[in-house]
Structure 1
Amino acid sequence: MPLSRFQQRLSLGEIRDGDRIELVADEGARAEIAQRLGLLALDRLEAHVALSRDGDTIEAKGRVKAALDQACVATGDPVRAHVDEAFDLRFIPEPTGTSPDEEVELSDDELDTMFHDGKSIDLAAAVTDSLALALDPYPRSAAADAALREAGVLSEEEASPFAALAALKGKLPGE
């Protein structure tokens, strides 16, 4: 089932066991996703997905690939990044008999489980979430170390307990 656009929802009625889907985000979708994820640019976003189905449970296994620019945490300069990340997601019906505010506990083996409404799955949102999880949380440009030093931020070596002990060593009487 090749898709030429980054479709937001797939009807459960159209999903067949063994379907393969190629999702490609167009310029408009990439701009929205870049804004949502706080990216400076998202030049490419695609996902290759194989679906399997067991009743109302849908498994989506595949890869998300992206080319993007993140803002350096120290300077704000663009930091180029490429993502090529595997994902394995399971979509199951929303639990019944719970209130919308009630917390649902998932076991460790269910951490990549998402809920659907019994009518459709939001594969594009799941791919976007997979991309978000693959991003570097602290992107740093080549100028980051100099900018941090100028701002008075100590390096890990300078801030370590051993560095503090070394500084005290020279201040001991008789040294």
Structure 2
Amino acid sequence: MSGVAQQRLQQERKAWRKDHPFGFVAKPRTLPDGSVDMLHWDCRIPGKTNTIWEGGVYPLELRFTNDYPSSPPTAKFPKGFFHPNIYESGTVCLSILNPEKGWRPSVTVKQILMGISDLLNDPNNDDPAQQLGYDVFRKDKAKYARLVKQQARKYSDEKYSTI
């Protein structure tokens, strides 16, 4: 890993440990040999209270490159995650993660996770990534709410709330 990426991710980890939103988890993956993979973080985003996402704790992977922070990480939910701005592969479509749109090297892990949390409850109709999620969101709000609540139950299991 490049020195710049390593240094920045260590700073991010330290800052996260000192100050992170309640219920959120973000930490580098520990490899089988006990070493830490600073380029691959396991995260959890809790569903916001009083929303259809409430009750779920959504697993997300952040993958950084050696070019970080010059280039953004990739953020992925599990494959098949239901949301208008999440590709079928699980990859998040969000402007702050796009180098041609909103990415800036000053964007932090905390800002990324908060942005994704906001996106869950407030999809961007102007930038759909998933046809089914987009169509249901636009045409049948009751069905959309039902599918999101079903997904929240799926990810409410204890295994998703801790890493």
TM-score by length of 1: 0.31
TM-score by length of 2: 0.33
Q: Which of the two has greater helix per residue?
A: 2
Rg comparison, structure with higher value: 1
Q: Which of the two has greater strand per residue?
A: 1
